[in-house]
């Protein structure tokens, strides 16, 4: 019993030392920046999981913004073309995300409505595909191994010629 109590006391002391020695960020500005960074990462991860297009908005102070006094017609056309391309890419990305969502919903519905025999067939096909993939990897390994053996033989013959 004394050993257990002694062990518990040592563990409590060790844990208090570890927690006391842990670095703390007491600076309010640092904590605010860390909080903002975590929020951005969470938003980006959330949007990436949804499949949405992630766009970051960069805030530029007013002093740094330079307004062109005279924009040529060519520059305006290029800007408009770039905006149109950006809109098209965004629309395509949204469509692709929507298609992925509908595809996954359809697959879930199909799996839910499958009979036991169909589920077994699907599982067998998945296993066969994986076995074929493993077999092809094994074949590649053997071919690579043979090539290495041939290269080693050539290296030995070259070294023998050099000596």
- Assessment of whether the complete model's pTM goes beyond 0.75: no
Range of the domain at 149: 115-158
Q: Report residue 22: phi and psi, to 5°.
A: -65, 135
Question: Tens digit of pLDDT for each residue in 96-107?
Answer: 999 999 998 888
Residues 6+ apart with CB under 8 A from 54: 44, 47, 48
Shared domain check, 150 and 119? yes
- Residue 14 in tokens: 């060790």
5 assigned to some structural domain: no
How many residues are present in the chain? Answer: 163
Shared domain check, 153 and 123? yes
- pLDDT over threshold 50, residue 47: yes
151 assigned to some structural domain: yes
Residue 53's nearest CA partner among 106, 89, 15 is 89
Domain count, the chain: 2
**Residue 54 DSSP class:** P
Shared domain check, 146 and 123? yes
Question: Tens digit of pLDDT for each residue in 50-108?
Answer: 765 445 555 545 554 455 556 688 888 888 888 999 999 999 999 999 999 999 888 88
Residues 95 and 53 sit within 8 Å (Cβ to Cβ): no
Shared domain check, 108 and 96? yes
Secondary structure, 3-state, 11-40: HHHHHHHHHHHCCCCCCHHHHHHHHHHHHH
- CA atoms of 123 and 111, how far apart (whole Å): 11
Whose tokens are 């879930």? That residue is 108
- Residue 72 in tokens: 């040529």
Shared domain check, 154 and 124? yes
139 assigned to some structural domain: yes
Shared domain check, 149 and 126? yes
94 assigned to some structural domain: yes
Question: Tens digit of pLDDT for each residue in 118-133?
Answer: 889 989 999 999 999 9
């Amino acid at each position: 019993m004394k050993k257990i109590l002694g062990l518990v006391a040592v563990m409590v002391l060790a844990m208090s030392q570890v927690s006391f020695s842990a670095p703390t960020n007491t600076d309010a500005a640092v904590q605010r920046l860390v909080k903002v960074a975590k929020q951005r990462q969470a938003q980006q991860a959330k949007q990436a999981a949804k499949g949405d297009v992630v766009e970051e908005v960069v805030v530029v102070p007013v002093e740094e913004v330079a307004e062109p006094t005279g924009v040529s017609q060519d520059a305006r056309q290029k800007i408009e073309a770039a905006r149109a391309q950006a809109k098209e890419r965004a629309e395509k990305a949204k469509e692709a995300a929507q298609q992925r969502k509908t595809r996954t919903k359809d697959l879930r519905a199909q799996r839910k409505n499958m009979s036991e025999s169909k589920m077994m067939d699907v599982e067998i096909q998945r296993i066969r595909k994986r076995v074929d993939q493993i077999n092809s990897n094994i074949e590649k390994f053997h071919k690579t191994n043979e090539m290495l053996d041939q290269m080693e033989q050539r290296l030995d013959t070259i070294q023998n010629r050099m000596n």
